[in-house]
Structure 1
Amino acid sequence: MAKSLAELKAIREKKLNEINLRHGKNGYRVVVGMATCGIAAGARPVMVKLMEEVAAKNLVDVTVAQTGCIGSCRLEPIVEVYGANNDKVTYVHMTPEKIVKVVDQHLIGGKIVDEFTMTIVDGKIVDPEIKA
């Protein structure tokens, strides 16, 4: 049986609320792109380091997950951080070293690490290395 758009929106909202309950009102959901493009670019060590940092720093309000292709293969490895209000920050060209800084500054300190984010100008993605 096909679902209506309203039913699909209700299911999505319910699942987002469940995720928010799991990682706390002020927590984060961190998603790593683990499609073939991400893995080829080095997403696996980024994911491992992220899980290690979250565990070592006992960040109980942080949920770590993986997803398939995020859609910007040339920017892989990509890590997306969702806040409690479901706002999203997309980090690109991530490395295990960069993930440490994101954990310390963003997940613990609440400050976005702008130097690792992508920017959209006139509908086009501007690579972080280019915007500097």
Structure 2
Amino acid sequence: MSNKVKSLQDLRKMRDELKGKINLREKSDNPDNLVQIKVSMATCGIASGARETMNYIIDDLDNQAIDAVVTQTGCMGYCYAEPTIEVTLPGEEPVIIGNVDTKKASEIIEKYIKNGELVDGIIPDTYKTIDNK
């Protein structure tokens, strides 16, 4: 998308591109039936490239016509592993994945979102000992 609008056609093209991105990010009729992705966009995440990661995820999901809700969230507390994302497949528990650059985002979409295969980089959300059964 260019920064300068030179014609009505350019303006319409920009509008259509933005509508598609907004639709992809904000679908909310039945979010439990859709893949949900939250991208940590606190200062630490943004400094580590979370904005680029989020834009890549939105574009790739849109290009592959994968229905998903992509939103941004604040700090998840995993600053050492930024950019971090939380992915929730329909009917599954959320999975938090760290160090998600565009290459890792592509792997997550291809392996986890499309095929349900776990990928490296998952951050455990709970730590249980043998005593906690």
TM-score by length of 1: 0.69
- Amino acid of the structure 2 residue aligned with 1:21: N
Unaligned stretches of 5+ residues in structure 2? 1-26, 129-133
Larger radius of gyration: 2
Counterpart contact for 1:92–1:116, Cα < 8 Å: yes
| Counterpart residue number, 1:37 | 44
How far is the alpha carbon of 1:119 from its aligned partner?
3.6
- Amino acid of the structure 2 residue aligned with 1:80: E
Counterpart contact for 2:85–2:98, Cα < 8 Å: yes
Counterpart contact for 1:32–1:65, Cα < 8 Å: yes
Matches within 5 A, 1:41-120: 41-60=48-67, 62-85=68-91, 87-113=93-119, 115-119=120-124
- Amino acid of the structure 1 residue aligned with 2:83: P
Secondary structure at the aligned position of 2:30 is classed as helix
Question: Is 1:21 aligned to 2:30, yes or no?
Answer: yes
Q: Distance in 2 between matches of 1:99 and 1:93?
A: 9
Counterpart contact for 1:33–1:67, Cα < 8 Å: yes
Secondary structure at the aligned position of 2:57 is classed as helix
Q: How many equivalent residue pairs?
A: 102
- Amino acid of the structure 2 residue aligned with 1:37: C
Counterpart contact for 2:89–2:113, Cα < 8 Å: no
**Deviations, residues 96-123 of structure 1 (Å, cap 9, x unaligned):** 011001011111112221x121246856
RMSD between aligned residues = 2.2
Q: List structure 1 runs of 4+ shifted beyond 3 angstroms.
A: 119-123
TM-score by length of 2: 0.68
Unaligned stretches of 5+ residues in structure 1? 1-17, 124-132
Secondary structure at the aligned position of 1:112 is classed as coil
Q: Distance in 2 between matches of 1:104 and 1:44?
A: 20
Question: Once the two structures are aligned, what percentage of the paired residues are identical?
Answer: 26
